[in-house]
Every structure is written in structure tokens, then in C-alpha cells.
């Protein structure tokens, strides 16, 4: 049976916030069963806590921001993607500022500290969300869907009007091994003209060639070039895994996207909750799956 998991030991990492430009330290601590991924703002009075779930997402502009009662944590997507892919179901994330550090622009540093912290199995089973029907959204030439499949797979395509990126697509079965080897080290990317504009408006203040792939009109500005020929679409998949992990459950289904981003990723997660006939929840066992009767995700996520 797949049991819930947390980390064995406390671990921490320090870096710079991509948009705030501020130095920030996060500590990962073991957490109890069924508590999920909780962010704790230790720098604020009363030490407020925000659980990562669909209705905690308050902004998808340039990154995924969660919040509650005016308290926010920004740019959570790379960290939560690593936690979900490594099957860390319950963890406390203590943070002493408003934004998760960007590190090198990928999820690899978070994979590293999670692996070093170790993984501890817990007693309660981890339910799986199984897609039974397709749920999809089309908006302004963009498309995102979640459809039935045997495992958790991602099919993603991007299409930029730029000679360096152009059209890229990837189909991949996501598990711990493929996430670590094929997805986790893909870095966030941006265009030089956009970075200059954002920084003039007090955004992307921590952005640099050390934590992002930057492209001008003709070339990649990073001296070492790309980590993968199709690093751009791989990073989009990384972001999507982070955004979909707000559902908390293991997923049996395929995530399909064309030119999607944080906004559509968040919308499809919320839409899935609103259509309970499109999925079922089961407890995973070695021989068979047992349907969990009477589970109401809208109630659980406070919709």
C-alpha cells in the first residue's frame, strides 16, 4: 500500500527571491499525516500558516502565489513540484520572507535538500485521484485538459514567435526518476526585453543569468547555453507539475497543455474539483483500489 510520507529530518536552503530580490531562507520540517504542504511565515507576528491547495492560490501573474488573510507566499511552484514528485505528502515549510528562493531557476536544489533530509513513511494511506472523464479549458488560443490515463503523464506543447524557442513539445510519464532526470533541472526562462521592463516596474528584481535562461532577439545570453535542447518546454512541464500538485493526491490521468501557464493550470485544478463525476478517489493497495465513498473535494478545499 502507498503510505503517506514526510521527511525524516529538518533541512534548509537560502537564496534570493526572483521577483522581490530579497534574501530568504526556507526550512523544511516533518509534518503529521493529512496535513499537506503548509507554508509558515515565521517573519510575521502570530506566525501565520497557509496550506497549499486550490483555493489558497491568490495570483498566477508570473508565478504561483498563495495567500490567506492578506499574507502571501510567492513563487512556490518549483518547490511544490519537487515535493509532489518525490512523494512528500506532509511537510512544514518555514519561510522568513514573502517569496521562495529561485535558486538556479529549477527544482534541482529542492530535490537535493529533500533527498538529504530523507523520507519517512507514515501510517495512513495516500489516496489517488483517478480521472474518469475529460475536463478541459480553451482560452485565447490556449488549451489545457486532464483526461483519463493509466499513470500520470504530461503532454505539453509551446509555440513562441522566436527562432530560438519556436515550437517544442514533450510527452512524458512522470515519476520520481523521470522528474529528477528529465524535468527538475530545467530552468525558468525569459526574454531580455521583458526582464528589463519587469525590473523597471519592481518585478524580477532577483533575476539574473545565474537563475534563468535569458533570450534576446537572436540568441541565448547564458554562457553555458541550455541544459537540454528543449529546456523551455521541460520547464513548462515543471511549472505544471507544481501547479497541479495543489490537488495533493496522487493522480492517475494525463495533463495535456498547449501554450498554458500558471493561470490555466490553476483553473483546470479548480474546474476538476467542480466536476466530481469526472474523477474518483481510491485508497491504493497492492492488489486493488478501493473507492472512497462520499468524499467531497469542494468541502475539503473550502469551495
Choose one of 125, 149, 178: the last residue of a domain: 125
CB under 8 Å to 104, separation ≥6 — which residues?
A: 187, 210, 211
Same domain for 63 and 145:
no
pLDDT reading at 286 higher than 60: no
Same domain for 180 and 45:
no
Same domain for 88 and 234:
no
pLDDT tens, position by position, 152-169: 999 999 999 888 898 999
pTM: 0.92
Same domain for 248 and 156:
yes
pLDDT for 303 equals 42
CATH for 42: 3.30.230.20
pLDDT reading at 149 higher than 90: yes
Phi/psi of residue 239, nearest 5 degrees: -60, -45
pLDDT for 288 equals 52
CATH for 160: 3.30.1700.10
In this structure, are residues 23 and 14 in contact, taking their beta carbons and an 8 Å threshold?
yes
| Tally of domains within the chain | 2
Same domain for 236 and 284:
yes
Same domain for 98 and 35:
yes
CA 187 – CA 222 distance, rounded (Å): 12
Interval 139-149 mean pLDDT = 95
Same domain for 184 and 290:
yes
Same domain for 60 and 141:
no
Partnered with residue 291 across adjacent β-strands are 282
CA 81 – CA 52 distance, rounded (Å): 12
Beta strands in 74-126 (DSSP E): 91-95, 119-125
Choose one of 104, 125, 146: the last residue of a domain: 125
CA 78 – CA 105 distance, rounded (Å): 8
pLDDT tens, position by position, 169-189: 999 999 999 999 999 999 999
pLDDT reading at 228 higher than 60: yes
pLDDT for 301 equals 52
CA 19 – CA 202 distance, rounded (Å): 8
CA 155 – CA 288 distance, rounded (Å): 27
Active site residues: 262
Same domain for 43 and 103:
yes
pLDDT for 284 equals 66
pLDDT tens, position by position, 67-103: 999 999 999 999 999 999 999 999 999 999 999 999 9
Interval 195-216 mean pLDDT = 83
Residue 2 to residues 89, 95, 250, 264, Cα–Cα distance (Å): 11, 29, 10, 30
Residue 234 to residues 9, 155, 184, 185, 268, Cα–Cα distance (Å): 30, 10, 8, 9, 20
Same domain for 49 and 21:
yes
Interval 126-135 mean pLDDT = 95
Q: Which three cell numbers stand for residue 37?
A: 504542504
pLDDT reading at 204 higher than 80: no
pLDDT for 298 equals 55
Question: Taking CA 176 as the corner, what is the angle to CA 120 and CA 227, rounded to the nearest 5 degrees?
Answer: 130
Same domain for 173 and 60:
no
- Name the residue range of residue 275's domain: 127-300
Choose one of 66, 91, 125: the last residue of a domain: 125
Same domain for 169 and 72:
no
Amino acid at each position: 500500500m502507498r503510505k503517506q510520507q514526510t521527511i525524516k529530518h529538518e533541512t534548509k536552503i537560502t537564496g534570493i527571491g526572483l521577483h522581490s530580490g530579497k534574501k530568504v531562507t526556507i526550512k523544511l520540517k516533518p509534518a503529521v499525516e493529512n496535513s499537506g504542504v503548509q507554508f509558515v511565515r515565521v517573519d510575521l507576528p502570530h506566525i501565520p500558516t497557509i496550506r497549499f491547495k486550490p483555493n489558497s492560490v491568490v495570483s498566477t501573474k508570473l508565478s504561483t502565489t498563495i495567500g490567506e488573510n492578506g499574507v502571501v507566499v510567492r513563487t512556490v511552484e518549483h518547490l511544490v513540484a519537487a515535493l509532489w514528485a518525490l512523494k512528500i505528502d506532509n511537510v512544514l515549510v518555514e519561510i522568513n520572507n514573502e517569496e521562495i528562493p529561485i535558486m538556479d531557476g529549477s527544482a534541482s536544489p529542492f530535490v537535493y535538500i529533500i533527498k538529504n533530509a530523507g523520507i519517512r513513511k507514515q501510517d495512513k494511506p495516500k489516496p489517488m485521484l483517478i480521472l474518469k472523464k475529460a475536463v478541459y479549458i480553451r482560452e485565447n488560443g490556449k488549451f489545457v485538459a486532464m483526461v483519463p490515463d493509466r499513470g500520470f503523464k504530461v503532454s505539453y506543447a509551446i509555440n513562441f514567435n522566436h527562432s530560438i524557442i519556436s515550437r517544442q513539445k514533450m510527452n512524458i510519464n512522470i515519476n520520481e526518476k523521470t522528474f529528477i532526470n528529465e524535468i527538475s533541472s530545467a530552468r525558468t526562462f525569459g526574454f531580455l526585453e521583458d526582464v528589463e521592463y519587469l525590473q523597471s516596474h519592481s518585478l524580477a528584481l532577483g533575476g539574473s543569468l545565474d537563475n534563468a535562461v535569458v533570450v534576446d532577439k537572436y540568441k541565448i545570453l547564458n554562457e553555458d547555453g541550455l541544459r537540454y535542447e528543449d529546456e523551455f518546454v521541460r520547464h513548462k512541464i515543471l511549472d505544471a507539475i507544481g501547479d497541479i500538485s495543489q490537488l495533493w493526491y496522487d493522480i492517475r490521468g494525463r495533463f495535456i497543455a498547449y501554450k498554458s501557464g500558471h493561470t490555466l493550470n490553476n483553473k483546470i485544478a479548480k474546474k476538476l474539483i467542480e466536476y466530481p463525476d469526472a474523477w474518483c478517489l481510491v485508497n491504493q493497495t497492492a492488489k486493488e483500489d478501493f473507492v472512497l465513498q462520499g468524499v467531497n473535494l469542494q468541502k475539503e478545499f473550502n469551495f
